[in-house]
Structures are given as C-alpha cells and as structure tokens.
Amino acid sequence: HSTSRRQRQMCIRDSSITVGLTNNNISYADYLQNLNVNKHAVSGTTIAKQEGKTNSFLERYSSMGEADIIMVMGGTNDCNLAVPVGEKTSTNEYEFYGALKSICSGLLKKYPYNLIFFATPIQRHTTQTNLEQYVEAIKEVCNNYNIPVLDLNRELNMNPNITEQYAKYYNDWLHPSDEGQRRIARKVQKYIDNEL
C-alpha cells in the first residue's frame, strides 16, 4: 500500500528579503514547494548583536520551533550597518565572525539531527563594496562547523548593477521583485531537493 509523505517543516531565519519587503510581503519562501515554511524574518535585522537592540538573528534563533530544515540567510544588513567583521579568531558576538560562530554552534545544539544550511547574501548595488567580506566569513565559519552553504551571491545570476537585470529582478538596490523572488525560490528549492 502507499503512504503519503509528511510535509517537511522548514524555518527560515532572515530579514526583509524573506519578509518580501517591496513585494507585498511575498518572498521566495512562499514559492517553495512541499514545505511548510515558517518565516522567522524581521526587516533590518543583523546576524551579530548590536548595542541598544535585541532583535539580532543570534538573539532570536532560540525562539524557533521544531523544523526538519533550517535555513539562515543574513549578512546584508550587517554590511549595510557596518557591523565589524572582526578577526577570524573573534568570539565577540557584536562582531560578525564571533556572532556566526555562536549561531552555528547554537543551531547545531538546538537541531542536532536536522538539515541546517546558510545562504549568502544576494548581490546588491556596487556602493556596497565590502559585502564580499561578509560572504567569505559565512563560508569560512560554516565550513569549520560542517554546515553547508548555498552561495546565492555568486550562483544566483542576479546582479542589480546590470540595467536589464535590475529592471527584471529588483525593486530597489537590494530587494527582489516578484520575478527575483521566484528565481531565488527555484535555486533554494533545487538545493534542498538535492541535499535531501
């Protein structure tokens, strides 16, 4: 006899891109198939802690419920708000390297048997020239914790600095249009399907 497969639960930790800012609150997460997605997304939030704020990824991940798949996509707001990248040896949670280590360790303890992966920030306008530092930090720290990374920064083929691509895939210097969100969804969906 046949049995129906339980729908997989997925938590996504992100900021305004996952919220769907500038796209009627519809994001790539809403286009993922065969997944019950919980968007733990707050616009403007960072991975690292910030003075006077308590809404960083690091301070919010512990409130996430059960999930089969956990995706973390962040770093663009850390870049935008000039959160210090820090040294590779940093354990300071107000610096990007230190915060990444804490969140990787914390997620592995909270979800020891689940699929956890990070996604790098998507391409943004050329004025954000140091985004690469944050992208490389994510890849390096995740590698050290044996957490896979989907490199949307390099593999998405969406670049707001190309006029034609900006017109099709972006609503502003960072936030994707509906077509851009759908493109992200296809990439994320393929990654998840290949990983499981």
pLDDT (0 to 100) of residue 85: 97
* pTM of the model as a whole: 0.90
| Three-state secondary structure call for residue 164 | helix
pLDDT score of 96 = 98
- The SS3 call for residue 135 is helix
What is the rounded CA–CA span in Å between residue 62 and residue 48?
14
Contact 149, 120 (CB under 8 A): yes
| pLDDT for residue 127 | 57
Identify the pLDDT of residue 22: 85
Residue 195 burial (CB count, 10 A)? 11
Block mean pLDDT (10 aa), the chain, length 196: 50 77 86 86 90 93 90 93 96 98 97 95 77 96 98 93 94 92 95 84
3-state SS assignment for residue 98: helix
pLDDT for residue 114: 93
- The torsion angles phi and psi of 69, rounded to 5 degrees, stand at -130, 135
DSSP, collapsed to helix, strand or coil, labels residue 170 as: strand
Given this model, what pLDDT does residue 3 score? 30
Question: What pLDDT does 70 receive?
Answer: 93
